[in-house]
Structure 1
Amino acid sequence: MAVSKLWSVSTNLERVIEYAANPEKTSAKVYSEEQYQALADVLSYAKDEEKTEQEFYIEGINCNPITARDQFVTTKELFGKTEGIQAYHAYLSFKEQNITPEMAQRIGMEFAKEVWGKKFQVVVTTHLNTKHLHCHFVINSVSFLDGKRLWGEEKAWFKFRLVADRICEKYGLYYNPNPNRSKQNSYYYKQEQAGMPTRYSMLRSAIDEAIAHSTNLKTFEYNLTQMGYKHCLSESRKYWTVIPKGYSKPVRLKNLGEEYSEEAIKRRLIENQRLPILPFSSGSKKQYNLPTRGDKIKKKSGIYCLYLYYCYKLGYLPKYKKPDTNKLHYLLREDLLKLDKISEEARLLGRENISTDKQLFSYKESVMGEISKLTDDRTHLRKMMRRKISDDELSKVKDEVSTISDKIRLLRKEVKTCESIAERSKVMEYNLSQDNPTEQKSKRKEKETYEQRW
């Protein structure tokens, strides 16, 4: 099986060609002085454009790999297209570990000829320095045939797998005719494995909650909309997508797992038709309305208390019972991904005893004044470094400059945190105001249920 990828190169055309044709990557391993001398002889022999040295696995299509850079530039100058993207760099990596370099180079040449060889100049190399052999391709961005730039099917790397699979099948190499291209990003996967909330895990929870209160697709769509999620679940679309609140890029539901494909969601909705469906609510039920730590915090006022109560609602502050994030209001649930930043802002408010907007902006101004003073001191020290002073004095001045730079860096971070607090506090007030009616309604129902029992 072969994996392909292509990306553009806008600057330094010579560097990418040198990388692709690096002898340390394309040459076979050498174990003796005789072999090393033969390798040196081959390097000079390879300059003859009429010859091809197989030991280096470097070949050109419609060009000589030794003078490829000059030929690429000549083509661009001929058609007056020397600006913009200079070339495209691609690779073809093989899963098999028992494939020979000769076969890898042969497959790479056949692949490049079919995809680009009719119109473009290509340098094809095979690198032997990694666990899996892989071919590198450097393609001129301008065609030598008609002067047109690389475009369309010629740069659609996600379609190259069809060509690669066909060639691998021809040479008896393994390939997967039905690859799973819905795998979750490794970054989000590692976050979930560590127990941290991610955009995907939050979206799964939201979909589960919407399905739990739905018996048909229309109700499911309505519940998603009520939770703040944009969606496109049309039957005419190939993939169903949902855009989480606060994001602009849609997520294909099939990428969330087997239980979130179009067929699985429809099946789960049909199964709900045989079960009693609870009314849609994001509140949590309790048996008694006992005073909580949140009630004590709410009696206070100020930005710091707002942050404390918000952290309490998110479950960051200790509670008697660990909160169920699925029962949080969807507006608060989005901020679970920002707990580290919110807690850092709360610590600053507590450390500096800030409770009003006026105190916050006053502290910000004082920090900016300190930054200005330290910047002037650092400028003075840098001027001293330009004078003729001893090495000991120069070393001390450099240490002082470094210390001041570290202080300035921390203070600038404080300024950004203050700006973030000013912006986030308004959002927190709005989110809590939206959650408050639901919370009051939940408490009222709990009270009625408790009274009916007696």
Structure 2
Amino acid sequence: MAVSKLWAVTSRLGQVIDYAANPAKTAADNYTEEQYQALRDVLAYAKDEEKTEREFFVEGINCNPLTARDQFVSVKQAYGKEEGIQAYHGYLSFKEQDISPELAQKIGMEFVNEVWGKRFQAVVTTHLNTKHLHCHYVINSVSFVDGKRLWGDEKAWFKFRLVADKNCEKYGLYYNPNPNRSKQSSYYYKQEQAGMPTRYSMTRQAIDEAIAHSTNLKSLDYALTQMGYEHCVSESRKYWTIVPKGYKKPIRLKNLGEDYTEEAIKRRLTENQGVRLMPFTNQTVVIRQYRLPTREHKIKKVGGLYGLYLHYCYKLGYLPKYKKQNTARLHYLLKEDLLKLDKITQETRLLGRENISTDEQLFSYKESVLSQIENLTDDRTHLRKQLRKNISDDELSKVKEQIKTITDKLWTLRKEVGLCDDIAKRSKVIEANIETVRAYEEKQDRKEQNRNDKFR
């Protein structure tokens, strides 16, 4: 059986290739001295690179394995795709222990050649340092043919595993024509072994609890619904599913274990029909009364510039939204700022979005925006210079579109700079206005108190 795998490599490219072609893993230590000497005599006539390939079972496809890293990088540089995923590293493992290194390497070469050999560079090696021989392959993430990245079916296990199975069948090796792709992952398995709750274990407990109070599918459906689980246990569905709490993606019940297949659940429900069961009752919830904080309490907890602006919006009657205040009773200083309410709300949203509480944070944010404006301006200038060159219509439209995108970003960033300047000026005025209004309200409260005292 050939177990195939493929995963992306984002670290140093040379490190992965060196691991795959490690002489300590690929050297044929099982050869006798006579066989090894005979092989050395024959290979002495070949080139050094060919000798290395044969001796250590290291071969390259569309590249020289001795300089594979440099050739991989050269292709990336040629197409300007040096960032992101550097390569894909995979293996091909065989169940048989009596397979020869030559056959393992041959199958690995045929497998990689058929799947990726037409468009990509690859290094294929056979490691002999474990009980089961296995091939490692490192594939460049960028095609030397068209510069496109490896994607789609080219890195889909359920596609290229068929090629590996076909090669194993060709050479009389064992393979599994119907692999179980729905097995529980080792991550959740190890969590359960350590006694930690998982979405699978918690779902099993919920189903067991529901079955314990059910005798048929209808009562099981009712119990799971009362427990708050989204599920489907209909006879018309091919697979029964349930959505674990806290998740959005459903899982098939048969993936939870042998006791949770459709047949097993029906059998357990039938066994309950001869037993007197208590009907399912949902857990009683004790309702408690809480004193919820109001918006004014939340605003008072927020300090700094953001809290100052929130409090000012509250004084202007903009907050809370559900309560409409009488603007006729506002202080004259506040009435003047009602005409600037749109600008004040924009400044408030900026302070809240960027978590700005102090003047230092405000100026720091402004400097970062100015730096972005400078970089985007340089990029736009460079693109405008390209318009003067003799380029095709497609490239011309792309450049114009990029210039338009940068211009829109610059408009937004310059607006942010203007808001920062307004906040720096307006914040001091707001503080003065709030102090004046507070003093006025305290004076009015004292007059009202004195008037009430006279009538007592």
Whether contact under 8 Å (1:42, 1:53) holds in the other structure is: no
Secondary structure at 1:54 match in 2: helix
Amino acid at match of 1:265: I
Q: Deviations over 1:343-392 (max 9, x none)?
A: xxxxxxxxxxxxxxxxxxxxxxxxxxxxxxxxxxxxxxxxxxxxxxxxxx
User: What is residue 146 of structure 2 aligned with on the other side?
Assistant: 146
Per-residue CA deviation, residues 157-207 of structure 1 (Å, 9 max, x unaligned), is 243332222211111111222333444444554565676655433322211
In structure 1, C-alpha distance between the alignment counterparts of 2:38 and 2:249, rounded to whole Å: 55
2:160 maps to 1:165: no
Question: Where do residues 394-433 of structure 1 align in structure 2 (5 Å cutoff)?
Answer: none
Task: Supply the distance in 2 between the matched residues of 1:45 and 1:86 (Cα, whole angstroms).
Answer: 36
Determine the structure 1 residue equivalent to 2:59. Answer: 59
Q: Aligned equivalents of 2:172 and 2:134: distance in 1? A: 17
The Cα of 1:252 is off from its aligned counterpart by 2.8
Distance 1:4 1:270, change over 3 A: same
Q: 1:135 to 1:257 in 2, by over 3 A?
A: same
The whole-number CA distance in structure 1 between the counterparts of 2:46 and 2:254 is 51
Aligned pairs for 1:295-314 within 5 A: none
Match of 2:12 in 1: 12
Indicate conservation of the 8 Å contact 1:5/1:158, yes or no: no
Deviation at 1:135, TM superposition (A): 0.6
1:231-380 → structure 2 map (5 Å cutoff)? 231-233=231-233, 239-248=239-248, 250-266=250-266, 268-269=268-269, 278-281=278-281
Letter in 1 for 2:170: K
Q: Is this contact kept in 2: 1:46–1:52, CA < 8 A? A: no
**One-letter code of the match for 2:262?**
E
Contact conserved, 2:227 with 2:282, CA < 8 A, in 1? no
1:68 aligns to 2:63 (yes or no) = no
Distance in structure 2 (CA, Å) of the matches to 1:206 and 1:45: 71
Alignment of 1:100-179 (within 5 A): 100-179=100-179
Shift of 1:251: 3.2
Greater Cα offset, 201-210 or 189-198: 189-198
How does the TM-score come out when normalised to structure 2? 0.54
Q: State the secondary structure of the residue aligned to 1:53.
A: helix
Change (3 A) 1:195 1:71: closer
**In structure 2, distance between residues paired with 1:171 and 1:272:** 52
Contact preservation (8 Å) 2:204, 2:256? yes
Mapped to 1, the partners of 2:53 and 2:100 lie a distance apart of 16
User: What count of residue pairs does the alignment treat as equivalent?
Assistant: 284
Task: State the distance in 2 between where 1:204 and 1:167 align.
Answer: 40
In 2, Cα distance between equivalents of 1:60 and 1:170 = 23
Q: Which has the larger radius of gyration?
A: 2
Q: Which amino acid aligns with 1:89?
A: H
5+ residue gaps, structure 2, are 285-456
Q: Aligned residue for 1:201?
A: 201
| Aligned twin of 1:342 | none
The corresponding residue for 2:402 is: none
Question: 1:221 Cα shift?
Answer: 3.3
Hey, what's the Cα distance between the residues in 2 that align with 1:43 and 1:250?
58
Identity of aligned residues (%): 78
Show CA shifts across 1:19-76 (max 9, x none).
1111111112279999999999999999745666322100111111111111111211
Contact map agreement 1:46 1:53 (CA 8 A) in 2: no
Higher relative contact order (CA 8 A, sep 6+): 1
User: What code does the residue aligned with 1:109 have?
Assistant: M
Q: 1:81 to 1:258 in 2, by over 3 A?
A: same
Q: Contact conserved, 1:26 with 1:125, CA < 8 A, in 2?
A: yes
Contact 1:182–1:254 at 8 Å: present in 2 too?
no
Describe the SS at the equivalent of 1:59: strand
1:252-310 C-alpha deviation (Å, 9 max, x unpaired): 322211221234435555666676654113679xxxxxxxxxxxxxxxxxxxxxxxxxx
Question: Relative to 1, partners in 2 of residues 1:123 and 1:191: Cα closer, same or farther, differing over 3 Å?
Answer: closer
CA distance in 2, matches of 1:270, 1:253: 18
Shift in Å, 1:121: 0.7
